[in-house]
Amino acid sequence: MFLITHTGRPAAVRSAELVIQGLLRNGIGARVLAQEAADLTLPPSVRTVADGEPCEKAVEGCELIVVLGGDGTLLRGAEFARASGVPMLGVNLGRVGFLAEAERDDLDKVVRRVVARSYEVEERMTVDVLVLSDGDVVHRDWALNEASVEKAARERMLEVVAEVDGRPVSRFGCDGVVCATPTGSTAYAFSAGGPVVWPEVEALLLVPISAHALFAKPLVTTPDSVLAVEVQPQTQGGVLWCDGRRTAELPAGARVEVRRSAVPVRLARLHHASFTDRLVAKFALPVAGWRGAPH
């Protein structure tokens, strides 16, 4: 098993050590990143992976990626999962943790289920992201949650034209535009006022951030649509963020294209709980008074 941990938190360090001990007791090998191994007390049998090792090489031969941490750590784990095709099992040690399948109190259960291979795997859609300048591709990236085009200067708005399937939709000044997957609908897109989309729904979302325009509503398109955001020449340029982790500068006149990727992220699931129940639990939504449908 490949283990990724937010070692900046003492609770995460202790949790990682407990998981590794449980795996080793059951004859399952463990592998960790060298930079994280330095913060952990590990038996000699635990293999370390050198910093900078390609993601697919680091996970080669592993059956599962277990990630301990908050949303940022889970998105870091997704980079290894997508590159290798190995499923990722998240244990939430942060606040919301929509990608996580278990909580800190479930560590013993997680180890038991991993040892017994008692989990199911589902695929989550990702997007490919292209940045073009003067017609040339100058940057390529991908995202599980979202690709966001944002202003570079706090004191100035970003002037953009949003496009869907090769046709312009609207021009507006804004703080940015989020192009999200259904998985990302409960992340940045949600904070920007976008709709919550059930993971089983195949779609793409385009959500303006603080737009100054009569029509700047969130849009939900088909999964085969191509979303584009053109940074207008008179603006100072902007910044592209993919999953809040990877960034690229956008010069004035740059064009960002977002389309469905052929490569998903595979998630290991321990529960059959509906997304509705997960939504209520994660956001602590008030449901008192619900009586359910009559039987």
By annotation, the residues acting in catalysis are 71
Largest CA distance in the chain: 63
Task: Go through 209-219 and write b for each residue having 16 or more CB atoms within 10 A of its CB, e for each that does not.
Answer: bebeeeebebb
What are the residues whose beta carbons fall under 8 Å from the beta carbon of 197, sequence distance 6 or more? 182, 185, 203, 205, 220
Instruction: For residue 175, say whether it is annotated as part of any ligand binding site.
Output: yes
Distance, in Å, from the CA atom of 21 to the CA atom of 29, rounded to the nearest integer, reads: 10
Instruction: Tell which residue, 214, 93, 191, has the closest CA to residue 145.
Output: 191
Instruction: For residue 145, say whether it is annotated as part of any ligand binding site.
Output: yes
Distance, in Å, from the CA atom of 49 to the CA atom of 80, rounded to the nearest integer, reads: 12
Strands 204-209 and 255-260: unpaired
Distance, in Å, from the CA atom of 254 to the CA atom of 263, rounded to the nearest integer, reads: 25
Instruction: For residue 146, say whether it is annotated as part of any ligand binding site.
Output: yes
220, 183 in Cβ contact below 8 A? no
Instruction: For residue 80, say whether it is annotated as part of any ligand binding site.
Output: no
Instruction: For residue 71, say whether it is annotated as part of any ligand binding site.
Output: yes
Q: Which amino acid is at 95?
A: R
Distance, in Å, from the CA atom of 143 to the CA atom of 236, rounded to the nearest integer, reads: 25
Instruction: Tell which residue, 5, 79, 50, has the closest CA to residue 246.
Output: 79
Instruction: Tell which residue, 59, 95, 94, has the closest CA to residue 78.
Output: 59
Instruction: For residue 76, say whether it is annotated as part of any ligand binding site.
Output: yes
Distance, in Å, from the CA atom of 237 to the CA atom of 159, rounded to the nearest integer, reads: 9
Of how many residues is the chain composed? 295
Binding residues for NAD(+): 71-72, 76, 145-146, 156, 175, 186-191
